[in-house]
Amino acid sequence: MNTITLHNTLPAVFAGREDTGSEIWLREVIFERGKKYLISAESGTGKSSLCSYIYGYRIDYSGTFAFDGRDIKELSVDEWCKVRTHHIAYLAQEMRLFPELTAIENIMLKNSITNFKSRKEILAMMEQLGIIEKVDSLVAKLSIGQQQRVAIVRTLCQPCDFIMLDEPVSHLDDTNNRIVAEMVTAEAERQGAGIISTSVGNNVKINVDKEFKL
Amino acid sequence: MSQKDIKNNPDHSSRGLMWKLLRTHISKSQLIGFSLASLVGLTIVILAVQFFQDVKPLFKDEDSFLRKDYMIITRKVSTASTVLQSSNEFEAKDIKDIEQQPWCRQVGKFSSNDYSVEASILVNGQGMRTMMFFESLPDEFLDVTDRHWKFDPNNPKIPVIISRDYLTLYNFGFAPSQGLPQASELAVSKAVKLQFTLRGNGNVQSFEGIIIGFSSRLNTIVVPEDFMKWSNEQFGSGIERNPSRLIVEVNSPGDERIASYFKDHGYQVAGDKMQQSKAQGFLNIIVSIVILVGIIISVLAFFILMLSIYLLLQKNTKKLQDLLVLGYSPNQVSRTYINMVIYINCAVMVVSIILMLLMRAYYMPMLKAMDVSGGKIYLSLIVAVIIMSLISFGNIMAIKRKINDLWIQSS
C-alpha cells in the first residue's frame, strides 16, 4: 500500500457543516508511504473517528477513503484482516489492551498472528521502554503510562506500510516520549513505512514532513 | 526477570491466548444446565428409537413365505351352520364382491385335498402316524425362493411349509414326553423324515416329504399348487369345490373399512393380523410421543445454549471487537466458541449413547425372554449424530452471525 487518500470526507456527526476550518475534513488529502505526518487537533474534532474510518471498523462518514486509489468500502473482511496485520499498524487512543492478560500476553496476541517479531526483539523493546519488569504483570495492574508503552510495543509487532498512532504519548514523560519517537521512527524507516500521528498537544517527538490541523 | 525465563512459555499461541481471554464470562452453571437438558432430551430420543428397533420384531410378520399385507379369511362357523349343514364355502359372487372393494388388491383361493392323507413322521428312529390334510394357494401370494418348491410327478417328493405351531407342539409336547431333544427349525427340517401316504379314487401312493420351512401365519400345511392339482386329479373325486378359505391382499391392514366389511359379511380373519396392526399402531403412537417429548427437551436445551452463548458474546463484545481491530478475522474469533460448543455437544452425544446402551442392556434380557433378539443399533446412533449435528449447526450459525455483527462498530 503506497497511499491513503481522503476525498471530501466528513464524519456523519458533522454532516451539514460547509467549512469546518479543517485541513483534513472535506479536503483532498494524500498520505504517502515513507513520509511522516502529524495531525494536530482539539478534542471533539473527529481525530479518533478519522483513525477508525481508516482502520475500517467504523463507516459513519461521507466522502471516500481509498487505499492506492481503491475505495475502502469495497474491501472484503479478509482484505481488512490483511490490512490490519500487514499494511497499517495502529495504536488506538484507548489502547484496546486486555486487562485480564499480562503485558507479554497482550503483545503475543498480536505477534502470534503476524509472527513478525521474535520474542527476543519484543523483550528488547520492552526493556528499552522500561517495562521489562512488567512482562508478566496483568495489564490491569499497570499504570496508564506503562499500558501505553505495552500498546506501542504491540503496535510495532507487524509488517506495515503505515504506522498510525492516535495520541501515542499522551501519558508519557519527555524521556519516554523520545524513546517512543526513536523506536517508531526506526521501525518505520526499516520497513519504509509512513507515520500518521495525531496529537492534542503532547506531540510525539518525530520530525514530520507535514502537519495537518484537523 | 531474564529473557530466558519466559522464552518458551507454551501459553502464548494465539489459540491459547484467545481461550484465556474469551473464556471469561462463560457461565459454568448455564453450560451444565444445557448439557443436562440436552443429555436427557437426546437420550430419550435415541432410547425410544432403539427400543422401537428392538421390539419391532415382536410385531413384525416374521413369515418369510407370505407377502406382506394379506389376510386369511374364513366364514364364521356357527352352531346353526353346523346343525343346518350350511356351507362354509365362498361362492364366486362372494369372491367377486371382495375383489371389488377399494382396499382389496387381489384375492387368492385356498385349495384343499380331496383325498385322505396319512403322514408318518420319523424322528431319530421314533415314529408317529397321523391323519393330515394339505392346502395350497396361488404362488403369487407366496414368497418362496427355495428351488424345491415345485412338484415333479416323475420324481415325486412333496415340499411342504408347515405351521410353526406344529414345531412348538413337537418341542413342548411331543419331545419331552418321548425323551427327545428339543430342536430348532433347521434341525427339525433336517432330522424329521416325513412320509405321506395318499389314498383315494382307488389309488394309494407314498411320497417323501421335505420341510421347506415354517410359517407362523399359515396355520396349515401348504404344498405347491401344481402338486395339489396333480394329486386331486390322481386321488380326488373330481368334484369341484368352492374354497373355504381365502387369502386377501389389502392396501392397508389397519383400514377400518376392512374390519367392518368382514364383520358385516360374517367373515373371520385368521390369526390376529388386525389386532396386531392395532398393537403396532399403539406402539407407533407411544414411541412417537416419547420421541416428540425427547425432541422438545432437546429443542429447549438448544435454546438454553443459544441464550447462554448470546449472553456470553454480549458480555465479551468489547473484547471481541478489540480482537477484530487487532487483525483477527471473525472466523478466528468465533472458532474459540465454536470449538467449545462442538466439544460440549460431542461429549453430550457420547454420554447419551453410553446411557442408551446401558439402558438397553437392562431391558434386552426381558425382550430376549420373549424370544426377540433385538434390532440393530446403527439407526439410533445415526439419529444421535443427526440431532447433535443440527444443534451444533444452529449454535455455530448463531455464533458466526453474532460475531459478524460486531465487525462494524458504532461510534
> Cβ distance A70 to A3 under 8 Å?
no
pLDDT mean over B205-224: 83
For an interface test with A, give the residue of B4, B11, B12 to mutate (most A CBs within 10 A).
B12
- Side chain identity at residue B376, one-letter code: K
Does B222 or A164 have the greater pLDDT score? Answer: A164
Does B219 or B249 have the greater pLDDT score? Answer: B249
B327–A133 CB contact, under 8 Å: no
Strands A28-32 vs A3-11: parallel, antiparallel or unpaired? antiparallel
Q: Where are the beta strands (DSSP E) in chain A?
A: 3-11, 28-32, 36-40, 61-67, 70-71, 88-91, 162-166, 194-199, 210-213
pLDDT at A67: 96
pLDDT mean over B376-384: 92
pLDDT over threshold 70, residue B245: yes
For residue A147, what are the CA distances in angstroms to A93, A138, B273? Answer: 11, 10, 82
pLDDT over threshold 50, residue B7: no
Burial of B69 (0-12, 13-18, 19+ CB in 10 A): middle
The x, y and z cell numbers of residue B11, run together, are 501459553
B328–A119 CB contact, under 8 Å: no
Who among B17, B332, B411 is closest to A58 (CB)? B411
B21–A100 CB contact, under 8 Å: yes
Residue B8 makes CB contacts below 8 A (sequence gap 6+) with none
pLDDT at B296: 92
Who among A49, A105, A123 is closest to B411 (CB)? A49
Terminal CA-CA length for chain A:
24
Residue B207 makes CB contacts below 8 A (sequence gap 6+) with B156, B157, B158, B195, B196, B197, B198
Strands B221-222 vs B245-250: parallel, antiparallel or unpaired? unpaired
Residue with cell 519516554: A176
pLDDT mean over B154-162: 85
pLDDT at B6: 45
For residue range A3-38, what is the model confidence (pLDDT) as tens digits?
Answer: 999 999 999 998 888 777 889 999 999 999 999 999
Terminal CA-CA length for chain B:
41
- Residue A185 DSSP SS3: helix
- Side chain identity at residue B364, one-letter code: M
Strands A3-11 vs A61-67: parallel, antiparallel or unpaired? antiparallel
pLDDT mean over A134-149: 94
pLDDT at B129: 84
In 10 A of CB B404, how many CB atoms?
Answer: 15
pLDDT over threshold 80, residue B287: yes
Residue with cell 461429549: B347
Who among B14, B21, B409 is closest to A57 (CB)? B409
pLDDT over threshold 50, residue A112: yes
Residue B404 makes CB contacts below 8 A (sequence gap 6+) with B330
The x, y and z cell numbers of residue B343, run together, are 466439544
pLDDT over threshold 70, residue B60: no
Instruction: Give chain A's domains with CATH numbers.
Output: 3-213 (3.40.50.300)
| C-alpha count within 13 angstroms, C-beta hemisphere, residue A9 | 27
> Cβ distance A106 to A139 under 8 Å?
yes
For an interface test with B, give the residue of A54, A101, A108 to mutate (most B CBs within 10 A).
A108
| Closest CA–CA distance from residue A206 to any residue of chain B (Å) | 25
pLDDT mean over B197-213: 87
pLDDT at B1: 42
B326–A110 CB contact, under 8 Å: yes
For residue range A79-101, what is the model confidence (pLDDT) as tens digits?
Answer: 999 999 999 999 999 999 999 99
Complex-level ipTM: 0.94
A98–B319 CB contact, under 8 Å: yes
The x, y and z cell numbers of residue A139, run together, are 495489564
pLDDT at A23: 92
Lowest-confidence region among A125-139, B294-308, B323-337, B367-381:
B367-381
> Cβ distance A49 to B411 under 8 Å?
yes
B6–A55 CB contact, under 8 Å: no
pLDDT at A17: 80
The x, y and z cell numbers of residue A16, run together, are 451539514
Average pLDDT, chain B: 83
Q: Which percentage of chain A shows pLDDT scores above 90?
A: 80
Sign (positive or negative) of CA dihedral B206, B183, B174, B163: negative
pLDDT at B63: 57
| Closest CA–CA distance from residue B33 to any residue of chain A (Å) | 27
Lowest-confidence region among A47-56, A124-133, B116-125, B338-347:
B116-125
pLDDT at B3: 45
**Residue A102 DSSP one-character state:** B
B→A contacts (Cβ < 8 Å), by residue, are: 1, 3, 6-7, 9, 11-14, 17-18, 20-21, 24, 319, 321-330, 332, 407-411
Per-residue confidence band for B9, with pLDDT thresholds at 50, 70 and 90: low
Rounded CA-CA distance A3/A176 in Å is: 30
Rounded CA-CA distance B192/B195 in Å is: 10
Does B192 or A88 have the greater pLDDT score? Answer: A88
Greatest mean pLDDT among B27-36, B168-177, B231-240, B314-323? B314-323
B336-B338-B343 Cα angle (round to 5): 95
Element (H, E) at B358: helix B330-369
pLDDT over threshold 50, residue B5: no
Rounded CA-CA distance B62/A83 in Å is: 69
Does B362 or B241 have the greater pLDDT score? Answer: B362
B322–A119 CB contact, under 8 Å: no
